[in-house]
Amino acid sequence: MIKIEKHNEYYEKYLADLTEHMDKPQEQSNPIHVGEKIKHMRETQGLSLAELAQKTGFELSMLENIEQEKITPPLGTMIRLSRALNTVMSSLFSAREEKGNYSIMRVRDHKTAPLPSGRASYHSYIPLASDLKDRHMDPFIVKLNPEKAKDVVPSVHDGEELIYVIDGEVKIVIEDKVEILSLGDTVYLKSTTPHIVVTNTDKPALILAIMYSE
């Protein structure tokens, strides 16, 4: 059995490597071009940006920035976009050949996983099962950055989600209720309830987020 002290040493190195990797998504040799996929799906279905904006309720300028990969859209935004495009969110993240029955991502691969291209103002994320077809849950490792965290607006989308804190301190606002989560804390919520998830300090936080949609 690994001693606690040694276990913490391995875990801290893993967190450091993972955080460094997620800080530099633009330097990846094989990033996931989410914006490119969204644009391709939209054009294939004969939708204009204005029509997609009407279907999702998003600002036209925001959709333009997403397609041009100037920003990385939050996960709630991705769910609403995938529904408007009549697809599942997993299809927007698939960087590997899709499988039918299971998906494995080993811990060593977290540090080299392809990230969505673009720069997020307050978060970045690694999809953990983008190669599994026809699934109902989408798991991610999400890095919550302190930059512009105060500018984050409430997210509302279909489904449910579970959030588990891997590192740091997280503030979750659900309607008008504020909850502070620390290492190992969990929240499960109905995603149709307005919610905000940000780091609660001037340092980044890491969470495991599992999104479910029927």
User: Over the stretch 166-204, which tens digit does the pLDDT of each residue have?
Assistant: 999 999 999 989 999 999 999 999 999 999 999 999 999
pLDDT given at position 29: 60
Residues near 68 by Cβ (< 8 Å), separated by ≥ 6? 35
Contact 33, 70 (CB under 8 A): no
pLDDT for the residue 25: 62
Provide the CA 145 distance to its chain's centre, in angstroms.
12
Interacting residues of 97 by C-beta distance below 8 A, sequence separation 6+: 131
Within a 10 A sphere around the Cβ of 27, how many other Cβ atoms?
9
pLDDT at 4 over 60: no
Give dist(CA 63, CA 209) in Å, integer. 23
| DSSP tag of 171 | E
**Look-up of token digits 């029955």:** 101
Residues whose CB is less than 8 angstroms from the CB of residue 207 and which lie 6 or more positions away in sequence, other chains included:
141, 142, 144, 163, 164, 165, 166, 170, 197
Give the chain's domains with CATH numbers.
4-212 (2.60.120.10)
Residues in contact with 89: Cβ distance below 8 Å, sequence separation at least 6, in sequence order:
75, 78, 79, 82, 138, 211, 213
State residue 1's pLDDT score: 42
Q: What is the pLDDT of residues 135-146, one digit of tens each?
A: 888 899 999 988
- The mean predicted confidence, pLDDT, of the chain is 84
What distance in Å separates the CA atoms of residue 45 and residue 100, rounded to the nearest whole number?
25
Residue 46 near residue 40 (C-beta atoms within 8 A): no
* pLDDT tens-digit series, residues 8-63: 888 888 888 888 888 776 566 677 788 888 999 999 999 999 999 999 889 999 99
Write out pLDDT tens, residues 65-94: 999 988 878 788 888 898 899 887 777 776
Please name the amino acid found at residue 39.
K
